[in-house]
Structure 1
């Protein structure tokens, strides 16, 4: 549709700003994306896939945020530009050869989401330029700063034979980590996508950059050159292996199962895990059965308190075998970061080869911390060793693990 013919769309709004139901629109909602259909997808007019992308946040960037405004039931949807210059700037981007893409988080309840979806076509008709829109509606891999929306954009463009030129592209967002910002989510998303970033004030109003601070966990805060296992001079598995019980202790997502597969599985140790067996009682019975058969076992659970660990120490004593404890160290924030990475941000090659992991809620980590009792030798352990988190993976895996993954404010 040409620009001149699309001007006839503006009369679809009455004086109150409400859309007339009998008038066609150039804006179209497409089928939602993602395994759980949580990413809303829409286009205005017929946006082209071009190497240069201008990605922009919506609320507080293109339009005034309406999150804190309460409206009466039945009030027609409406919006207000963040600044009057916005439509002109969007047309300049379009005329300058950019694909315009709106990237927004919209974790709205069903009723509010219905109202919001009625507002977006008003924005589309008022600006009258082609654009694509992604709206993340859940706390999953699409929600900024997670880079899922960028991956979807790259996938769609690749289907059109277009590779995005990141250095010639940009992202504009208001959640930039400045003193008055509610978060640094948008700046983190731009860093994850490797895009030049601007605040609305910088991009639209040409104001100088304001100081900012990005808070929250990032892998760069971790010490370098850690020894994976302490003490490091003693073999993890005795040679030859002998009947014993090994307890793993630590929060989820700190590499316990990977450590078992690497060190203990090749030596024939049985794997006792509550994710598989479902209850602690079944884990205790499974460990007892293995020891009674004269074999060795690893209890790969969080085992966060002395009372839980005593259950296993007692059955090892009854079987006459020693108990060793491996304490997996790392902060709750690191563990949660790892959980998000393996659920949402693995490289495609690992997605195909690794078992599917669901992201754990943040509460799973804080509840571990609240009930945690650090293990000690006087609990009956023959040995107590520490396993420190050290990332292992190729360059692409490390690049993805090194991203900002945690949503500000959790």
Structure 2
């Protein structure tokens, strides 16, 4: 049997049975009206009942006869009925030829009838049940928050998991562009991919594709369009595979609980047999002959390293290439020693029995606030911080008030240059008390890591620090010296302490700068 979508203008579009097609303005439809989106409708032919399911994607309505389809609505196009692609213009009809196994045609729905349940049936479908050892019986989409999960018919939960990045690992663009120019701008990256995946399935692995599509959360990509693309990729491979899509950054997504639930439902995963294949591997420029570009990041390799997965690049796994060189981030969180000495010189004292001013110098997220609240403020020092007081002028005034009250003062600001430090040196000299400097030695890379760690902690009370602030400090920084007027300079190390083992494990995961 064959199915054709035909227009009075001479356009024709073949529709395969059960295969989603995105259709709209362009050469295939011969429609140039800009009120018609390039992704106006999704069409799925059903050869058994000789109908085409039409789902509206574009902003302006399509029509089935005289009934409008709003965005997200679906209806059935039958033989003898008419689809108007946009605003009751550009009519198309459907024509089936041949017979479906000689069976008589079932009773068809009324022409042009719109069934509001079709949208839920098509877009949400039945949520998959926990699979255990039984295969999934039908293709299913499931959505949970910012996650969308497609489970193809035949997928079975396994102890062994093989996870693959989708873009750049399984598919690439047909156009040769870095980013796809249209929903159908894709092709399978290597011919070796399909037989290699089939071999993994025969060896008892569950195969999972994962992808991060930030364009959906930003409104630049409609979920329906990407879901159709996923279904087309799997239809091409003809293998039972699960696909997991997130709209947000991967950091919080790849936690053990989510990894276990969404990849495998109720079967426990054996991480030592799991494998991750992806292309963000930290490879430098010219990592292979042919003027290869450097990888855009090392995030995929770091993810595998963080949770203990075997890792391979697509070239290593599918083509058998030798491992390429790679570069890990400068800061290794696993070398951070919670038993290290806190400060130098070791014979110095953190607090003084005499009145004084202590001025901090260090990157945001270098541990200054935690240090002061743990070691200095409990000794009676007035705590001065620009985040709470709003300006350096208010901080200077608070410092002066504290000294007039006969108390010592701790200034918890970044103070990168002599100009910012001189404000407090002038106040201390005016009041006749010594001023010490506490130089926090945390590197830029570790400070950024600390900032990301804080963002993931539920009890975090710190404001998010962006890269511009970090690099502003770096550009202004001049190491403090005694010649500025300090009576002493202590170098303070970042020595972490954690409320529980889970927090410690999270801190020791690699992150990119």
Q: TM-score scaled by structure 2?
A: 0.64
Worse overlay, 120-129 or 301-310? 120-129
Q: How far does residue 243 in structure 1 lie from its aligned partner after superposition? A: 2.4
Partner of 1:401: 507
Bigger RCO of structures 1 and 2 (CA < 8 A, at least 6 apart): 1
Q: How far does residue 254 in structure 1 lie from its aligned partner after superposition? A: 1.2
Quick one: distance in 1 between partners of 2:315 and 2:418?
55
Quick one: distance in 2 between partners of 1:70 and 1:160?
32
Partner of 2:170: 62
Partner of 1:376: 481
Partner of 1:44: 151
Structure 1 residues 242 and 107: alpha-carbon distance in aligned structure 2, compared to 1, 3 A threshold: same
Quick one: distance in 2 between partners of 1:77 and 1:313?
65
Partner of 1:131: 242
Quick one: distance in 2 between partners of 1:150 and 1:331?
27
Partner of 2:229: 119
Quick one: distance in 1 between partners of 2:325 and 2:17?
41
Worse overlay, 195-204 or 128-137? 128-137
Quick one: distance in 2 between partners of 1:30 and 1:214?
36
Structure 2 residue matching 1:167: 3-state secondary structure: coil
Worse overlay, 42-51 or 57-66? 42-51
Quick one: distance in 2 between partners of 1:272 and 1:159?
51
Structure in which a larger fraction of residues adopt helix: 1
Alignment of 1:326-405 (within 5 A): 326-344=438-456, 351=457, 354-393=459-498, 396-405=502-511
Q: CA RMSD in A?
A: 3.3
Structure 2 residue matching 1:55: 3-state secondary structure: strand
Q: How far does residue 326 in structure 1 lie from its aligned partner after superposition? A: 0.4
Partner of 2:329: 216
Q: How far does residue 313 in structure 1 lie from its aligned partner after superposition? A: 1.8
Alignment of 1:159-238 (within 5 A): 160-178=265-283, 179=287, 180=292, 181-182=294-295, 183-205=297-319, 207-219=320-332, 227-238=341-352
Deviations 1:132-191 (A, max 9, x none): 3133544xxx2xxx4642445236359955432101211111222341341433222211
Q: How far does residue 31 in structure 1 lie from its aligned partner after superposition? A: 3.8
Partner of 1:263: 375
Quick one: distance in 2 between partners of 1:284 and 1:196?
54
Structure 1 residues 318 and 14: alpha-carbon distance in aligned structure 2, compared to 1, 3 A threshold: closer
Q: How far does residue 80 in structure 1 lie from its aligned partner after superposition? A: 0.7
Quick one: distance in 2 between partners of 1:76 and 1:187?
28
Worse overlay, 125-134 or 195-204? 125-134
Deviations 1:365-408 (A, max 9, x none): 111011112212222222211112334446654443333201xx
Greater C-alpha radius of gyration: 2
Structure 1 residues 161 and 290: alpha-carbon distance in aligned structure 2, compared to 1, 3 A threshold: farther
Tell whether the 8 Å contact from 2:208 to 2:263 is kept in structure 1 after alignment. no
Quick one: distance in 1 between partners of 2:475 and 2:209?
40
Tell whether the 8 Å contact from 1:157 to 1:163 is kept in structure 2 after alignment. no
**2:467 paired with 1:316:** no
Partner of 1:3: none
Deviations 1:20-77 (A, max 9, x none): 25545745361433xxxxxx432233755543222110111111157835776xx553
Q: How far does residue 333 in structure 1 lie from its aligned partner after superposition? A: 1.4
Q: Point out where structure 1 has 5 or more consecutive residues left out of the alignment.
A: 1-7, 34-39, 345-350
Partner of 1:306: 418
Tell whether the 8 Å contact from 1:226 to 1:390 is kept in structure 2 after alignment. yes
Partner of 2:205: 98
Tell whether the 8 Å contact from 2:336 to 2:496 is kept in structure 1 after alignment. no
Structure 2 residue matching 1:276: 3-state secondary structure: helix
Worse overlay, 61-70 or 290-299? 61-70
Q: TM-score scaled by structure 1?
A: 0.79
**Among residues 244, 255, 264, which one is paired with 2:356 in the alignment?**
244
Quick one: distance in 2 between partners of 1:155 and 1:286?
52
Quick one: distance in 2 between partners of 1:222 and 1:195?
20
Partner of 2:43: 20
Quick one: distance in 1 between partners of 2:419 and 2:332?
33
**2:145 paired with 1:32:** yes
**Among residues 183, 186, 189, which one is paired with 1:82 in the alignment?**
189
- Aligned residue-pair number: 375
Structure in which a larger fraction of residues adopt strand: 2
Q: How far does residue 14 in structure 1 lie from its aligned partner after superposition? A: 8.5
